Structure 1
Amino acid sequence: MSESAARAEAPALPVTFRPTRTRAVLLGVGLAMFTTITVIALMLERLSTGERISFVFTAVLLSSVLVLLSRPKVVADDGGVTVVNLTTKRRLEWAQILRVNLRPGDPWVFLDLSDGTSLPALGIQPGVARQQAVADARALRALAESRGTGAHDN
């Protein structure tokens, strides 16, 4: 891809990539689960206060896991990219990103970095919305190519 073509396809900055459908499902299920367990805890008359608290505590823990799973995103701005995965957050300068990869069968985008490592970017994942993930990967690739030392690879 030529440099001018990469610039033409690159979205305006700042831009955030995240699996919105997956996020909506996870947060919706988490809210429904928390509400259901809490209502059941309050409706069961035979439960003691401690048992009710343990029901609500369990609901909070389960919902928290789903909130954690909905966390991934990739934020691109003029200075570089911030990759937020489940429990980690990493800031990269554009020059550190050599290649943006989303090959068939990959669960998410991988960023090949100048230090020889590869960083998974869970914020772009083709699971539920494959076409959106492919479009997001292409947009991030175009940004990396136009702003850094990125190279093209499918």
Structure 2
Amino acid sequence: MTEAPSQQWELEARPRKSAKYAVGVAALLVIVHTTLGILLRTGNTGVFFQRVDQFAMIAIGCGMAAGVLLLTRPRIKVGAQGVLVRNLVTEKLIPWDLVRGLSFSPGSSWARVELPDDEYVPVMAIQSNDREYAVHAARTFRSLEQKYAAAS
């Protein structure tokens, strides 16, 4: 789903701490697999590694890093048109008439947008380990919900 350039979002939040860790882990994976790939043919282990094995080792590290970097993707955008939630691979625009609130279930790692009929959409962009940032994002969401949900 692509958004129109004219849309204005009053809240845009994304995970902070987990995104930093994900970038670090992704960099470490690439470094380790590249190093192993380079060193694969230097010693005599009884197994004959070819150049393609070296490239495969590096490619595996890059693929794993790309998977870890998916953790930097979550976003939530809130505005007059509704709530746009992007998690690891999905993006969903929720109109205000369907929003029933934002909550943190006990022990959960991230928030969720409550929908009718006991349904919900997880919001990986607002994570409990971000502490004050998460509290600020949740409070801002709730104030915008009062502003827009009452109008719809």
Name the TM tier (shorter chain): 0.7 to 0.9
Note the residue ranges of structure 1 that are not aligned, 5 or more in a row: 1-11
Displacement of 1:121: 0.9
Aligned partner of 1:39 in structure 2 is: 35
Q: 1:62-101, aligned counterparts within 5 Å?
A: 62-101=64-103
Aligned structure 1 segments of 4 or more residues deviating by more than 6 angstroms: none
| Contact in 2 for aligned 1:38/1:56 (Cα 8 Å) | yes
Question: Relative contact order: is structure 1 or structure 2 higher (C-alpha 8 Å, sep ≥ 6)?
Answer: 1
Superposed CA RMSD: 2.2
Instruction: Using structure 2 for the length normalisation, give the TM-score.
Output: 0.79
Instruction: Using structure 1 for the length normalisation, give the TM-score.
Output: 0.78
1:110 aligns with 2:106: no
**Identity of paired residues, percent?**
23
Compared CA separation, residues 103 and 131, structure 1 to 2 (3 A): farther
Displacement of 1:70: 2.2
Displacement of 1:44: 3.3
Displacement of 1:115: 5.5
Taking the aligned partners of 1:71 and 1:63, their CA distance within structure 2 comes to 13
Question: Alignment length, in residue pairs?
Answer: 138
From the CA coordinates, give the structure whose radius of gyration is larger. 2
Letter in 2 for 1:74: I
Taking the aligned partners of 2:51 and 2:66, their CA distance within structure 1 comes to 22
